[in-house]
Amino acid sequence: MPAMAIVGLQWGDEGKGKITDYLSEIADCVVRFQGGANAGHTVDLGRKTLKFHQIPSCALHKGVTAVIANGVALDPDELIREMRTLREKGFPVTKLAVSNRAHLVMPYHKELDGLEEAFKGAGAVGTTRKGIGPCYADKASRIGFRAGDLLDVASLTERVETAIRFKKAYASALNGALQSDVQGIMKKLHHWSGVLSSHITDTSSLVNGFISRGKSVIFEGAHGLMLDIDHGNYPFVTSSNIMTGNVYAGSGLNPQVRVKTLGILKAYATRVGAGPFPTELDDEVGEHLALKGMEIGTTTGRKRRCGWLDLFAARYAVQLSGARQVAITKLDVLSGLEKLRVATGYTYGGKRLKDYPPSVGVLNGVVPVYREFRGWSDQLDEDITRWSELPDAAKRYISFIEDFLGVEAKMISVGPSRKKTIIRGKLAP
């Protein structure tokens, strides 16, 4: 397994953190290549729960190098806090490398995230308010700051003055008043520099070095493909590419290196924030999924919207991710439901759609075509570790998913902890 990408196939929160931690056992390096502190990845240790936002979910494995690559929108305040929390919980991150090319989330990006959302009113995206959109916008506008800039803060005054002038004007156009000022930002930059400089390096060289020495590298995706800025439900998306192709741009990996994808698919669907969700359930089944699945946002504490598994959307995500192998998570949450449904297509205006629609207007008007399955009552909360121990109805549900998506479910997760993981054969190298 020289290079593997872990990619969410839905709207995020599929259980990428659990699976990344599980596979980190056999990795030498784990890389975050997009997103930022908007991600929240959980690793459940029974006694303790660790939540990862920017640091890859491999901190339990002391020998593994954790990389925050150039494609990440890096929030130094959140990173410093995350490092402290992990240290206090007994898991100091000893091998952490931060790309000198990663763009910095500045305090004014978070202010502007809130102001933009308020300005949009009913059309708000429901962002995590972590400043992700404004940070990537500045990257594209070429007025951003990068982690490498922290190595020479004294030279940044003029650029900071320009940025603050820009942002003041923008904030007032959004009916707001910017709190950030030049002095405050310079102070922050000096602080970040003091704490983080020793971690800042050329992570592209580092990652390619691991690969050329035959080591195993995992690229831990954040969010889920339906939130991809190009291929997701635009504009109700995040501001980065989530698809496997972005591993190369987001980390500087040599494109000659073949990256295998492990898609992560929750056995039902959830979504946080606004945007279309054709299989959403506002009934007692939705309530069952929310309660049993403990569907509360890891980063924002918001309630996640819940619904039936949408295989029409997932098939599109599988194609974009290149996944031939998937991990199906949270199967245990379906226990106790008499009947299960999965969407296998959509109709719009009475006609069956061939392709997953790009338009939110269409998505808001589609009617899912469902296939029904018998559920199972067994709770799966005993220590089920083998495929053969699953109820027949659960096996039929998974086999249908495999056939429909053209993938192999190599891992099946039946609880938050590591031991509640069924392995069905090795991941293909």
Q: Tell me: does residue 304 bind ligand GDP (CB under 6 A).
A: no
Query: Which x/- pattern, by CB under 6 A, does the window 396-425 give for ligand GDP?
Result: -----------------xxxx---------
Q: Which residue is nearest to ligand IMO (CB)?
A: 273
Query: Rule CB under 5 A: which of 287-306 touch Mg ion?
Result: 298
Q: Tell me: does residue 330 bind ligand IMO (CB under 6 A).
A: no
Q: Tell me: does residue 329 bind Mg ion (CB under 5 A).
A: no
Q: Tell me: does residue 126 bind ligand IMO (CB under 6 A).
A: yes
The partner in contact with residue 133, picked from Mg ion, ligand IMO, ligand GDP, none with C-beta cut-offs of 5 to 8 angstroms by kind, is: ligand IMO
The partner in contact with residue 415, picked from ligand GDP, Mg ion, ligand IMO, none with C-beta cut-offs of 5 to 8 angstroms by kind, is: ligand GDP
Q: Which among 11-19, 129-137, 161-169, 317-325 is the span making contact with ligand GDP, rule CB under 6 A?
A: 11-19
Q: Of the candidates 5, 18, 112, 125, which one interacts with ligand GDP according to CB under 6 A?
A: 18
Instruction: Determine whether 61 is an active site residue.
Output: no
- State how far the alpha carbon of 117 is from the alpha carbons of 124, 125, 129, 302, in Å: 5, 7, 9, 16
Q: How many CA atoms lie within 13 A of 133 on its CB side?
A: 20
In the complex, the smallest distance separating the C-beta of residue 41 from Mg ion, rounded to whole angstroms, is 6
**Using CA of residue 221, residue 225, residue 231, residue 236, what is the dihedral sign?**
negative
Q: Which among 34-42, 115-123, 149-157, 393-401 is the span making contact with ligand GDP, rule CB under 6 A?
A: 34-42
> In 3D, which of 376, 231, 236 has the Cα closest to residue 244?
231
Q: Tell me: does residue 332 bind ligand GDP (CB under 6 A).
A: yes
Q: Which among 5-13, 351-359, 363-371, 408-416 is the span making contact with ligand IMO, rule CB under 6 A?
A: 5-13
Residues 21, 36: Cα–Cα separation, whole Å: 18
In the complex, the smallest distance separating the C-beta of residue 42 from ligand IMO, rounded to whole angstroms, is 8
- What is the b/e burial string over 285-315, where b = at least 16 CB atoms within 10 angstroms of the residue's CB? bbebbbebbebebbbbeeebbbbbbbbbbbb
Comparing CB distances to ligand GDP, the nearer of 18 and 167 is 18
Q: Of the candidates 29, 39, 311, 343, which one interacts with ligand IMO according to CB under 6 A?
A: 39
In the complex, the smallest distance separating the C-beta of residue 255 from ligand IMO, rounded to whole angstroms, is 25
Comparing CB distances to ligand IMO, the nearer of 210 and 277 is 277
In the complex, the smallest distance separating the C-beta of residue 216 from ligand GDP, rounded to whole angstroms, is 20
Query: Rule CB under 6 A: which of 130-159 touch ligand IMO?
Result: 130, 132-133
Q: Are strands 305-307 and 269-271 parallel, antiparallel or unpaired?
A: antiparallel
Instruction: Determine whether 13 is an active site residue.
Output: yes
From the candidates 21, 28, 41, 223, which is the catalytic residue? 41
Q: Tell me: does residue 239 bind ligand IMO (CB under 6 A).
A: yes
Query: Rule CB under 5 A: which of 14-53 touch Mg ion?
Result: 40
Query: Which x/- pattern, by CB under 6 A, does the window 240-279 give for ligand IMO?
Result: --------------------------------xx------
Comparing CB distances to ligand GDP, the nearer of 113 and 220 is 220
Q: Which among 9-17, 255-263, 278-286, 383-391 is the span making contact with ligand GDP, rule CB under 6 A?
A: 9-17
Q: Tell me: does residue 112 bind ligand IMO (CB under 6 A).
A: no
Residues making contact with Mg ion (CB under 5 A): 13, 40, 298
Q: Which spans of this chain sit near ligand GDP (rule: CB under 6 A)?
A: 8, 12-18, 40-42, 44, 293, 298, 329-330, 332-333, 413-416
